[in-house]
Structure 1
Amino acid sequence: MKGTLAVIALTLLLVQCSYSFMFEVIAAHEKCLTEEFRQDTLVNGKFEVSDRLSKNIAYPTDIVMNSMQMRFYVRDPNGDLPFDNHDARKGPFTFNAHVPGEYQFCFLDNYKPGALVMPLSRTVSLEYKTGVEANDFSDVVTKGQLKPSEAELRKIEDVVESIKEDIMYMKTREETMRNTNESTNSRVKWLSFFCFFLLIGSAFFQINYLKRYFKQRKLI
């Protein structure tokens, strides 16, 4: 029993996908973090914009927050915005990656009209989870829809399903790479044949040309 629990705990640890960042956003400059997601990946997290200013003097919080307006948005590979907050301060966010590829988490801090101060930068903290970690069963447990043990079983079931999807995804990627390699090898082979016959044809052409040239000059 202990061995089974250890295996389950290790599996949960391996499939955990949680990321946390803290960085500075310079005023009027876009700051983006890029992450690649598979299709239909659930992503949720939270963000917080701080009034802490490491590159300038300490202004009162209310003046800073009233002088600046932070925009937080997520850009998918097609350029669409599955999440967009034009006055981001703090809070949760969630979206589903309907398109596979690279997603960008972007912050853009701008001065409001008539800003009282001109801070150079502000600190932003960003945390997000994907896959199984993004599924939150705490609400259904609190509402009594599931018992804690049932919620853990649901989570383990999601973990197993996630592992299965990862295996199938890696298998598909491996097949795609194998087909690409085979196609590339085939093209290289035919290109080699083409270059070989081209060189032979060029050699025969040069020989015949030189032969005719020397005959015309009566050198042979």
Structure 2
Amino acid sequence: MRSIVIVCLLAVIAIQAAHSFMFEVRPAEEKCLVEEFRRDTLVKGSYDISDKLSKNIAYPTELIMQSMQMKVYIRDAHGSLLHDNQDAKSSNFAFTAHEAGEYLFCFLDAYRPHASVMPLSRTVRLEIKSGAEAHDYTDLITKGTLKPSEVELKKIEDSVDSIKNELMYMKGREETMRNTNESTNSRVAWLAIFCIFVLIGTATFQITYLKRYFKQRKLI
């Protein structure tokens, strides 16, 4: 019983944990992160674009900063655009995953039109929250709807619901993969049987043909 409780607590922590990333994007380079969400999952997050400049630069920092232009966009599982920022510094985003699948979070460090100086690499800080962690409970406290202790219980309840939905989603995917594997195995088995009959037929034809050929030549 104790082990089950520990597993449940670890699962709650995993559901509530937000994904934080930090990486560099070089000039004219595009970096994309892929996150998989199930259907009807609330996703919120933020990103911050900082400038990583070398100490030994030939141009003033202000001039280099003016030449930088970071493009940020988010696409859903079908490639539809969910978020688009052509000159990003820092911003928040929020959407609901209407379809299950992989979502792209892309950052492209492009030059400004007619830029006179090549921009240097920059550091991107990206934070993604989904499920129960993406819900905002501050309004429940400020409006007096729930007490702080009740809000914590609400968070746990939402986390448990998220775990349940995640398990159901994983179960559905497992069933889909199992059906696909069984269908593939069945087709492979029929293909193997077909190949065996083709080989037997080819061997029978070759033996019959050779016997007839040798008889015509009076070799046997």
- Band of TM-score, shorter chain: 0.7 to 0.9
Asked if residue 170 in structure 1 is aligned to residue 166 in structure 2, the reply is: no
Count of aligned pairs between the two proteins: 216
Q: CA deviation at 1:195?
A: 1.6
How far does residue 112 in structure 1 lie from its aligned partner after superposition? 2.2
Counterparts of 1:1-220 in structure 2, within 5 Å, are: 10-54=10-54, 57=57, 62-115=62-115, 117-220=117-220
Task: Give the secondary-structure state (helix, strand or coil) at the position aligned to 1:132.
Answer: helix
CA deviation after TM superposition for structure 1 residue 213, in Å:
0.3
Query: Unmatched 5+ residue regions in structure 1?
Result: none
Confirm or deny: 8 A CA contact 1:67 1:116 kept in the other structure: yes
User: What is the alpha-carbon root mean square deviation over aligned residues?
Assistant: 2.5
SS in structure 1 at match of 2:52: coil
Within 1, Cα distance between the matches of 2:55 and 2:199? 66
Deviates more, 1:160-169 or 1:140-149: 140-149
Scaled by the length of structure 1, the TM-score of the pair is 0.86
* Identical pairs, percent: 65
**Structure 1: distance between partners of 2:188 and 2:40:** 37
Output the CA distance in 1 between the equivalents of 2:28 and 2:69. Answer: 10
> 2:56 and 2:110 mapped to 1: Cα distance?
16
Q: Please tell me whether the aligned partners of residues 55 and 120 of structure 1 are also in contact (alpha carbons under 8 angstroms).
A: no
| Distance in 2 separating the partners of 1:192 and 1:7 | 45
How far apart are the structure 2 equivalents of 1:10 and 1:133? 15
Q: Which runs of 5+ in 2 are unaligned?
A: none
Is 1:52–1:58's contact at 8 Å kept on the other side of the alignment?
no
1:47 aligned partner, one-letter code: Y
- Give the whole-Å Cα distance in 2 for the aligned partners of 1:35 and 1:190: 38
- TM-score, with structure 2 as normaliser: 0.86
